[in-house]
């Protein structure tokens, strides 16, 4: 992690201390439950009730590669890309349960004594990361047609998201 990333993470954790869950994500990432993209809070509540000692929930990352070009016509960035990689085992993102973790980081955490980390399988939920090919990946491998999986999970809520976007003030939505 870059040295300037830890301060905003701790600031976020302090500001969200009145909430049960806090997710540490980049702007180009969203957590998508497989049951339905709008079911994140119900899914987290269910997992939390199922494991009363959870300090954090860890999600695998599925990369939607921007180098692969758009594969859907829409005005919503997250809906333009429907080709993705399989869930990666080398990176993850975390939703923290307030008051139960010892350390906070972008990809790792440590639970307080008596609590544990819950690793959720990608069949329950995954982080959709909209990114270009990683520098560590070989360009030929990243840009090949092999290992592309179509994921249209978000397509079912496009109309709903467009309606929600209309409620966002212009100065926030348009970056004024």
Q: What is the pLDDT of residues 31-76, one digit of tens each?
A: 989 887 778 999 999 999 999 999 999 999 888 888 888 888 888 8
Give the closest residue to 51 by CA, choosing from 125, 122, 116, 99.
116
For residue 140, what pLDDT band results from cuts at 50, 70 and 90? low
For residue 139, what pLDDT band results from cuts at 50, 70 and 90? low
Pairing of strands 29-33, 125-131: antiparallel
Say how many C-beta atoms besides its own lie within 10 A of residue 43's C-beta: 18
133-141, long-range: CB within 8 Å, 24+ apart, which pairs? Answer: 133/65, 133/67
Q: Where are the beta strands (DSSP E) in the chain?
A: 21-24, 29-33, 54-65, 83-84, 88-97, 101-104, 109-111, 116-119, 125-131, 149-150
Give the closest residue to 61 by CA, choosing from 81, 90, 24, 96.
90
What's the pTM?
A: 0.82
Tokens of 67: 């180098």
């Amino acid at each position: 992690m870059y040295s300037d990333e830890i301060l905003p993470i701790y600031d976020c954790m302090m500001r969200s201390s009145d909430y049960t869950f806090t997710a540490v994500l980049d702007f180009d990432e969203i957590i998508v439950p497989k049951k339905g993209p709008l079911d994140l809070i119900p899914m987290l509540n269910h997992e939390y009730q199922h494991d009363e000692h959870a300090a954090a929930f860890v999600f695998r990352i599925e990369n939607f590669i921007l180098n692969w070009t758009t594969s859907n016509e829409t005005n919503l960035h997250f809906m333009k890309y429907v080709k993705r990689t399989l869930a990666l085992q080398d990176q993850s993102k975390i939703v923290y349960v307030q008051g139960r973790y010892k350390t906070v980081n972008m990809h790792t955490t440590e639970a307080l004594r008596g609590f544990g980390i819950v690793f959720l399988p990608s069949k329950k939920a995954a982080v959709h990361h909209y990114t270009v090919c990683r520098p560590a990946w070989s360009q030929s491998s990243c840009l090949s047609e092999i290992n592309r999986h179509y994921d249209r999970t978000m397509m079912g809520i496009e109309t709903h998201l467009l309606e929600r976007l209309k409620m966002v003030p212009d100065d926030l939505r348009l970056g004024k």
